[in-house]
Structure 1
Amino acid sequence: MKRHVFSPLSNRSYRTFFFSQVFTDLGNWLDLLALGALITFTWKLGLEANSAAVIAMGAPFLLIGPFASVWVDRLSSRMVLLHSTFLRILVIIGFLLAENLYMLLPLIFLKSALASISEPARQSLLRHLVPTEEMAEASALGQMVSNGMKMIGPAIGGLLLTFSSPAAVFAVEGVLYLIGWVIMLALPRVQAAADYSRDEKQGFVRDVAEGVRFLFGNPLIRSAVMIVGLSMFIIFLYDGFLPPLVQALGMDTLGYGLVTGAVGAGSVLGALLTGQFTQWRNWPILFMAVGRIVSGLLLLVAAAGVLYGFAHGNTALWVVIFAVTGAVGVGMTVPYAYLLQTQTPKELIGRVSAVAMAVQGIAIFTAPSLGAILGKWLGLGWVFVLAGGFTVLLGAASMWRAQEKKSLTSSASM
C-alpha cells in the first residue's frame, strides 16, 4: 500500500504519541502572551523585566539541555517524558501562585529546563515507535503540530486574555498538560537507548562530548545543523521587526493579523506537502539549500516593498507571499528532523538532539540584539536586504557543498 503523510497514524503507538504532542505543544505556546501580560499589565513592569523573562526562557536550552540529555539516553525516554511533563504541571501551578517577578523567573527557567529535557526524550521515543521507512512522514507530522500550535496557542491565549486574566490562561495550560500526560500513560514501555552497565564511571562531560563529536563528525547532520543554526540566526535578526514591516508595507492591524496567520497556515501546509511528497529523502541537503534560496528571495521582495514601495498596501499579495515563506521554512525543518532521526544511533539521539537545540539557542540569544543595532543603524528595509542576501548566500553555499560531496545526497536513503 502506498504511503502518505498520515500513514504513521495507523501505528497505534505513534498515534498515542502524536495526540499527546498536540496537547503538550498547545500548552507550550498558550502562555506566551499571558506571561507578557502578567509582567507588563498586571505588575506594571518594564522592558527589563520582559527581557529577563526571555532570558529565563532561553537559557536552559544552552545551560541545562546538553547535560540533562545524558539521562535521556541512559533512562527510558517514556519515563523521562512522563516525569518532565508532570513536573511542568506543577510549574504551571507555581505560575498561578507567583506574586512577583522574583518568584516567576525561576519558574519560567524551570519550565524551559524541563522542555529542554522533554524534547530530546520525545525525539528518542519517536525513534522507538516509528520505522525508518515512515520517518519522513512522521517528521512532517511533528512539524505540522509544532507549527500549528505556534499559531493556535498564542491566538487562544490572546482570546482568553481578552475575556479573563493570565491566571485563567495558566489554568487552561495546566489542563492541557494534564491531558497530554494522561495520553502518554498509554505509550508503550521502551528500554533505555544506551547501555552504560560496562562503564558506570563515564562522566557527564564525556557523554556530552560524545554527542558533540558525533554531530559534527557526521557530514549530513553537520550540514543540516549548520544550515538550520545559521538560518535561525538570520531569522532572529528581523523576527521582532514583523509589526513595523507590515506597517511599512502599507497594511494596518487587520493586515498584520492576516500576515501572521498566513505564515502559520503556510507552515502547516508546507509540512503536509513535505510529508506527502518525500522524494527529497534522496537529497535532503539540496532540498534544504533550495528552500534557503527561495526564502532569501522572498525576504528581498519584502525589502523592495519597504525601500521602493513595491505592492504597497496590496494585502492579498503580501498574504500569499508570507504564506509561501512559511511553507518554504518548513521545507527546511522537516528534512532536518528526518536526518537527526535516521542518521543518529539510538544510544545518542538524546544528546545529539539536545546539542543541536543548543546550537539554535546560541543564534536565538545573540541575533535579536544585533538585529536591533542594525535596525537603528541601517533602517528597516536594509535589515531585510541583509537577511535576504545572507539567506540566499547560505542556500547557494549549501547547494554547492552538497553537489561537491555527492554522499550528502544519497546516504540518507540507505
Structure 2
Amino acid sequence: MRASPYRPVMSHTTLRRILPGFAVSSLGDGMAVVAVSWLAIELAPAADRSVWVASAAAAYTLSGAAGALLLGRFLRHRRPALLAGWDAALRAVMLGAIPVLHAFDALGIKGYVVLLALSSVLHSWGQAGIYTLIARVLPARDHLAGNAVLSGVGSVATVAGPPLATLLIVLGGPATVLAVDAATFLVLAVTFLLLVPGEGIPEPQEEQASRAAGFSVIRQTPALSGLLALSFAFFFLFGPVYVALPLHVSEGLGAPAGVLAAFYTAFGAGAVLGSFLTGFLSRWRMWPTTLGIVTLFGLLMLPLGLGAPTTVSVLCFGLAGLLWPPYSTLSTTLFQRSTTGALLPQALAASSAVRVLSVPLGTALGGPLVAALGAVGTLRLSGGAIAALGLAAAGCLALRARGFVTPRKEPAAEDRAPV
C-alpha cells in the first residue's frame, strides 16, 4: 500500500474533501446516462424519435463547448474551485427544472432539449477547474494517479448508476432520475463552493493570458495538437452510439430499459478496472498506448453491429469500457504536464471544449445515420471507423519514425514525457 501510486492522492487534505461530493455527483451522472435518452424517447413524437433522442443527448454536452469559447473573458482568472462549483450549481438548477415541469405536464420535447443545453453551458470550465485543482495541489509525479482516481470514481458510478436508474424509472419514470441527478449536483456545488479553502491552493503569478491563449498553447505544441486531433476524431466517431444503442435496445431488440442499463453497467465495470490500472502506466509511451487503445476499442465495438448475441455484445462493450479511462486520463495528464500557471485552466478548457464538441457532433450525426442505416448499421459503421482511425494514425506514426514525415516542431522535453 505504501508503494501504491494512489496513496499521495487519497491522503491529501483538499482532495479528501472533494472526493465524496464528486462521487455522489458521478453517481447521479451515471443514472442520467440512461434517463436522458429514455425521457427523450417518451416525449418525442414517434415519427421523429431518432432525431430528438440525438438532439437531447447532444444538448446535454454541446453548449459546454460554446461556453468555453464565449465565457473565457469572465472565467479565465477564477479559482478552480469556483469554476467547478458554478458548473455544478447551474446543472442542479436546470436539471431540477425538468422534473418540476414534467410533474405539471408542462414539459415538451423542445423545452426539454433547451434545459439540457442550458445545464451544460459551464461544463468545460467545470472540468478545467477540477483538473487544474489536481495539477496545483499535487506534484507532477502524482498527476496521473490523481486523474485516475477521479476517473475511477466516475467509472464506479457508471456501474452503479444505470441499475439505480432502471429501478427509479420503473417506480417514478425517467424524470425522477433527473431530479436525483440535480440533487447530486447540488451536493457537488456545496463541496466546491464551501468546503474547498481559497487559501493553501497555489495560484500562478502570470496574469497576462488572453482569451485564445489555451488554443495557442495547443497549436504550438505538436504533442498536444496531435493528441487533440486524435481525441476529436475518436469521440466524434463514438458519438452515434448514444443514439443507435438506445434505439437498438428499445426497437430492434424490443427490450426494456434494463437491457440498456446492462450495456452501460458493463461499460462502467470495465472502466472501473481500467481506471485502477491507469495509475500504473506512468512509464508507458503515450503514442503507442493511445493508438493501440483506439484501434482495439473500435474492434470491440464491431460485435454490436454484426448481429452478435446480446450477451456477447454486452461483454464486448464492457471490454471497450476497460480502455476508456486510460485514454482519457493519459491525455489529460499530458496537458497538465505541458501547460503551467495561468494558462492551464484555459488550455484544459480549450481541450475540453474540443472534446466535448466532438461527442455531440457525432451524436447529432447519429440521428440521420440511424434513419439511413438503421441502429445496427450505425453501430457497425462506428466501430469500423474507430478501428480504421487507430490503424491510420499508427501508420502515420510509423512513417514519422522512419523519417518520411517531418514534424513541424520538436516538442520540449516535458512534452515528450513517456506518459
What is the identity, as a one-letter code, of the residue corresponding to 1:157? A
Match of 1:84 in 2: 87
What is the identity, as a one-letter code, of the residue corresponding to 1:329? W
1:50-61 correspondence runs (5 A): 53-61=56-64
8 Å CA contact 1:296–1:390 kept in 2: the answer is yes
Cα distance in 2 between the residues matched to 1:43 and 1:376: 15
Q: CA deviation at 1:36?
A: 5.4
Match of 1:11 in 2: 12
1:229 to 224, 232, 250: 232
Match of 1:115 in 2: 123
Match of 1:367 in 2: 362
Cα distance in 2 between the residues matched to 1:76 and 1:133: 23
8 Å CA contact 1:212–1:352 kept in 2: the answer is yes
8 Å CA contact 1:74–1:193 kept in 2: the answer is no
What is the identity, as a one-letter code, of the residue corresponding to 2:213? E
Superposed CA offset, 1:85-112 (max 9, x none):
3344333443354333476555433311
Match of 1:298 in 2: 300
Normalized per residue, the structure richer in helix is 1
Cα distance in 2 between the residues matched to 1:248 and 1:60: 29
Q: Does 1:313 align with 2:309?
A: yes
1:136 to 128, 131, 144: 144
Match of 1:355 in 2: 350
Sort the Cα spacing of 1:89 and 1:323 in 2 relative to 1 into closer, same or farther, 3 A: closer
Identity fraction in percent: 19
More off after superposition, 83-92 vs 218-227? 83-92
Q: CA deviation at 1:116?
A: 3.1
Cα distance in 1 between the residues matched to 2:254 and 2:52: 31
Cα distance in 1 between the residues matched to 2:271 and 2:260: 17
8 Å CA contact 2:290–2:327 kept in 1: the answer is yes
Match of 1:211 in 2: 214
Cα distance in 2 between the residues matched to 1:55 and 1:323: 23
Q: How many residues align?
A: 397
Cα distance in 2 between the residues matched to 1:106 and 1:66: 19
Structure 2: any 5+ residue segments left out of the alignment?
A: 402-406
Q: CA deviation at 1:180?
A: 2.5
Superposed CA offset, 1:321-363 (max 9, x none):
2222111233321211211222122312222222222222433
- Alpha-carbon RMSD across the aligned residues, in angstroms, is 3.7
Q: CA deviation at 1:291?
A: 0.9
Structure 1: any 5+ residue segments left out of the alignment?
A: 307-311
Q: Does 1:411 align with 2:385?
A: no
1:240-319 correspondence runs (5 A): 240-242=243-245, 257-280=261-284, 283-303=285-305, 305-306=306-307, 312-313=308-309, 315=311, 317-319=312-314
Superposed CA offset, 1:113-160 (max 9, x none):
132331221122121122111111111122222333344334323322
Match of 2:65 in 1: 62
Match of 2:134 in 1: 126
Cα distance in 2 between the residues matched to 1:33 and 1:301: 21
Superposed CA offset, 1:151-178 (max 9, x none):
4334323322322255644443343233
Cα distance in 2 between the residues matched to 1:246 and 1:104: 22
